[in-house]
Structure 1
Amino acid sequence: MSSNVQVRVASWQKDNADLRRIRETVFIAEQAVPPELEWDAEDVEAVHFLAVDGDYAIGTARLLPDGHIGRVSVLKDWRGLKVGEALMTAVINEAERRGLKEQMLSAQVHATAFYERLGFTVVSGEFLDAGIPHVEMKRTSK
């Protein structure tokens, strides 16, 4: 990962343009997720995270008050550079700081190995979400 990449807690209001640009690029444009499924009321109460390369936002994720992690996305040119790992580490650390001992997420099936490396285990069968195969995964903090 380039040494310029950092992850910070973002503001849904202040960083809205960057959060939307990344999620629209990854989920709506690349993966054909319908916009009405991408944007939901939970964005307002979630803790959002931005990965930035210098001052350019390249990845995002969100943490819900119940410990659900979602909308993990990294722009194509930065994939494979450990940006997703840095994002997830920041989200897990924040969840633990808030006393959320259990973190859950719905993973796209092709990404399960990535999440397993971070301590998540598959806890459901496969299901379709926005037409994409997913599984539920869970991680319990020590």
Structure 2
Amino acid sequence: MSKVHVRLADWHKDNAALRRIREAVFINEQSVAPELEWDSEDSQAIHFLALEDDYPIGTARLLSDGHIGRVSVLRDWRGLKVGERLMQAAIAEAEQRGLRQQHLSAQVHATAFYERLGFRIVSDEYLEAGIPHVDMLRESH
């Protein structure tokens, strides 16, 4: 694998790349309705873009309340720690902004991934966009 890096993204300048990744993962693969995927929080969120060389392969976003979401990696790059790098960048940014608690809504199948990053399950299972989820919390020390 060549050089993978994560950088802060600009919702307007990087919009096409951010949308392409999220559409591929959430709308096309997981059948999330487009009206559920896109919300007014995107324009206010801090976005992260994972790239292999200059090719966008993953994204995530951080909201002002410490909520990390929309973590997505294109299928061909899964299992290569791209999601982990995105999460580490989002956690570091949250901590830098004084957000000592980070929380997320995790698809149930991905809870072990988030647990390895220090998150713990804090809710019962529920459906979001027809997919089983749980709320997870991470507290900075």
Give 4+ residue runs of structure 1 displaced > 6 Å after superposition.
none
Matches within 5 A, 1:131-142: 131-142=130-141
1:8-47 alignment runs, 5 A limit: 8-47=7-46
Distance, in Å, in 2 between the alignment partners of 1:41 and 1:121 is 27
User: TM-score, normalized by length of structure 1?
Assistant: 0.98
> What are the residue-to-residue correspondences of 1:61-140 with 2, within 5 Å?
61-140=60-139
Q: Where does structure 2 lack aligned partners over 5 or more consecutive residues?
A: none
**SS of equivalent residue, structure 2 residue 115:** helix
Matched-pair contact (CA < 8 Å) for 2:2–2:53 = no
* Mapped partners of 1:86, 1:70: distance in 2: 14
What is the TM-score when the length of structure 2 is the normalising length? 0.99
What SS class does the counterpart of residue 80 from structure 2 fall into? coil
* CA distance in structure 2 between the aligned counterparts of 1:104 and 1:88, rounded to whole angstroms: 11
SS in 1 for 2:84: helix
Q: Counterpart amino acid of 1:15?
A: D
Q: Which amino acid aligns with 2:14?
A: D
Would you say how many aligned residue pairs link Structure 1 and Structure 2?
A: 141
CA distance in 1, matches of 2:118, 2:2: 25
**CA RMSD after TM alignment:** 0.5
- Check conservation: 2:67, 2:102, Cα contact below 8 A: yes
Q: How far off is 1:41 after superposition?
A: 0.1
> What residue ranges of structure 1 are gaps of 5+ in the alignment?
none
